Amino acid sequence: MERRVELKLNGGDISGAVRVPASEDVIAPMSTETLEELRKEHPPEHQDAHFPSKECFGPPSPPVTTEELIWRKHLLDGKVPDDVCPALYGASLIALLKKTRGVRLIAVGNTLRRLAGKIVSKRVMEATGKLVRPQQLGHGTRGGAGAAVHSTRAFLSGPTGCQTLLKLDFRNAFNSVHRGRLLEETQKFLPEIYPFIFQMYRSPTNLIYGEHVIPYARGDQQGGPLSPLLFCLLTRNLSKLLQSPFIVWYLDEATLGGDFELVSRDFQTIVEIGASLDLELNTSKCEVCCLWRYSYPTASYTPENEAPLPWRNISGQEDPNATWNYSLSRSDPSGPR
């Protein structure tokens, strides 16, 4: 612990140094079980993930030095030699034990790649914010998390009379999204950064865990600052298809509010279109809240091997007599209140 605190202080991270002694995180043992957990977090390449070959972009680039890599913009222009890419775009993994089971991974990416990612993110932050707002507040919106919280409170207490509030969370979202769709959205909306993003995602990269190498062929790349930006681009069209009067996304967490019928249809839209993006809802972290004056839907249905989402009243207490469902059948006006 002393060594970790010292490293934080030497790096100028005072806040991080203070958090180290108070942290309850425990590094997972380097074992076969931990390795298997990490592999589950990084599924294999998607069957239809076919990208243009490198020949489409001209002859191979000659070897370059680190100085040339930075000053000649090889990174940002997507001209890094192929033999450098696996090391440049890979990452080292640290596994922390979760209190509830499983492991939480931390990916440490290459410094040059992270610096280039920050430059790119800064350049397009304003444009990205305009593209994804008002539904998505996870990137390009200053104080987006606070805005999401305050707008939710205002909607619940406002004259609109919110009847249903649905909170959604996606399972392993950043590691599972479809890279082909991600590249398509980047080329469509932010073509100026596409060469850099294409170079990062056109081939599988390696995650290093001890002596083991985990191929990384799906999802946003770990260990870099561009993941929020790319995830927001990927889910932009989905978020703008929704019709509920209240819609707030913060990265992979979405909140919908309004009439039960509208929220029901939007839920089904998210399930169906999300599947085409390789996004799957994590039902154990999804909730439905309602105001005391609104009827619960009486019909319920859940897919095989899935538990129903818990109904909670506005105070956060679960109602054991009511359930949410995937089919979201029409509620019975005469149902329980």
* pLDDT the model gives residue 321: 44
Question: Could you tell me the maximum CA-CA distance found in the chain, to the nearest angstrom?
Answer: 73
Q: Beta strand pairing status for 212-216 and 246-250?
A: unpaired
* pLDDT the model gives residue 66: 52
Tell me the pLDDT of the chain (337 aa) as tens digits.
Answer: 566 666 666 666 767 666 766 666 666 667 777 767 766 665 665 555 444 544 444 445 555 555 455 545 678 888 888 888 888 888 888 888 877 777 777 888 888 888 888 888 998 999 999 999 999 999 988 889 899 999 888 887 776 555 788 999 898 888 888 889 999 999 999 999 999 999 988 888 888 888 888 888 888 887 778 989 999 999 999 999 999 999 999 999 999 998 888 999 999 999 999 999 999 998 888 888 876 544 444 433 344 445 555 544 443 444 444 444 433 333 333 333 3
Annotate 137-194 with DSSP letters as a single string: -SSSSTTHHHHHHHHHHHHHHSTT---EEEEEEBTTHHHHS-HHHHHHHHHHH-GGGH
* pLDDT the model gives residue 54: 46
The structural domains of the chain, with segments of one domain joined by +, span 1-61+72-294
Specify burial of residue 49 (Cβ count, 10 A radius: 0-12, 13-18, 19+): middle
Its pTM stands at 0.69
Nearest C-alpha neighbor of 290 from the set 268, 310, 265: 310
Residue listed under structure tokens 């191979």? 60
Report the alpha-carbon distance of residue 307 to residue 135 in Å, rounded.
Answer: 28
